[in-house]
Every structure is written in C-alpha cells, then in structure tokens.
Structure 1
Amino acid sequence: MKKRYSEEQIIKAIKEHEAGAKVDEICRRMGISSGTFYNWRSKYAGMEVNEAKRLKELESENSKLKKLLAEKILETEALKDVVSKKW
C-alpha cells in the first residue's frame, strides 16, 4: 500500500534530519525507504511548505499543458496527412 504524504509532512521530516535526526529513524517512523527520503530531500530541501505547494501546482499545470500541446501536434499532423493526400 502506497502512503501519500503532504508537503508539510515531507518538509517536517527533512527539517528533522537537518536538526540532527537520523535518516533511518525518520524512515522507520514514516514507513518509507531511505531512497524515498533522499528523493524528497533533493526535491524539497530548503523549501517552506507554501513553496512546495506552489511547486506541486506548477508541476500539475505543466503536465496539463504538455498534454494539450501533444494533442494539438497530433491534430496538426493528422490534418497535414489529409491535405497531402490526392483526391
């Protein structure tokens, strides 16, 4: 079962580590692997909760825009195919 942690919980765990808590202890308490913790740290280190939430919003928006762009490119290519065929 995959647990989801909020940005607030992730940043709190990173700050605990920065304050001297051991990674193994944090991981055991949260039920995550050390790899997950280090991924979080590389992504969220030095951030405050509001910045992390904004990052998540921007990533979501970016994903939607990429999907829209891909759909438009496919549409354009399909139209080019239709126009290039001889009737």
Structure 2
Amino acid sequence: MARKRYSDEDILKLLREIELKLAEGDDVRTACRGVGVSDATYYNWRRRFGGMGKSQLSELRSLEKENTRLKKIVAELELDKLILKESLNYLKPRA
C-alpha cells in the first residue's frame, strides 16, 4: 500500500474528524479506518499534535525554523573556535 504524506493542517483536520467519530461512540480502530489512517498513526499524531490549534501549529513551525537557524549558528561558531585553537597551537613557540 502506498504511503501518503499529510501536511500538518491535514493532520489536524483528520484528528478532529476522528475525535468527532469517537464522541459519536465509535471505537478508535473504526474511527481511524473511516478517515483512512491506522490506529498507530492516530496515536502518533495525537502525541505530536494533540490539543493543538492552527495558531499553535504556526507558532511551532516558526520555533522549529528559529531552532534550526540557531543550531547552524552554533555549529559555525564551534568550527571557528576549533580553527582558532589549531592556529594558536601552530603559532605557539615550541620548547
């Protein structure tokens, strides 16, 4: 069976549909199959996106983007630090 990638907005929509089906009295497996996902996928999505709205989703994306940017900055500074350390050892007079 082919895998389908869902966008975060689609995942939120499907989670809401499943929650509505659960509120109507369906069990988890039936509700998940009704929207076309497995119950394991539902539990993974619920763990990641549970209780999240669209505004929180956009905030999460911006924070992830900022985190990625900061990680790149730290990696570059660490590399600069190592280069300076090596050049200092090279220039240091040997006894």
| Fold conserved between structures, TM > 0.5 | yes
Q: CA RMSD in A?
A: 2.4
Shift of 1:67: 1.6
Shift of 1:39: 2.1
Q: Mind listing any 5+ residue stretches in structure 2 that lack a counterpart?
A: none
Q: Post-superposition, which runs of at least 4 consecutive aligned residues in structure 1 deviate over 6 A?
A: none
Q: When the two structures are aligned, how many residues end up with a matched partner? A: 86
With a CA cutoff of 8 Å and minimum separation of 6, indicate the structure with the bigger relative contact order: 1
Q: Mind listing any 5+ residue stretches in structure 1 that lack a counterpart?
A: none
SS of the residue aligned with 1:82?
helix
Taking structure 1 as the reference length, the TM-score comes to 0.73
User: Which structure has the bigger radius of gyration?
Assistant: 2
Tell me if 1:8 matches 2:9: yes
Taking structure 2 as the reference length, the TM-score comes to 0.69
Change (3 A) 1:22 1:65: farther
Distance 1:53 1:2 in 2: 25
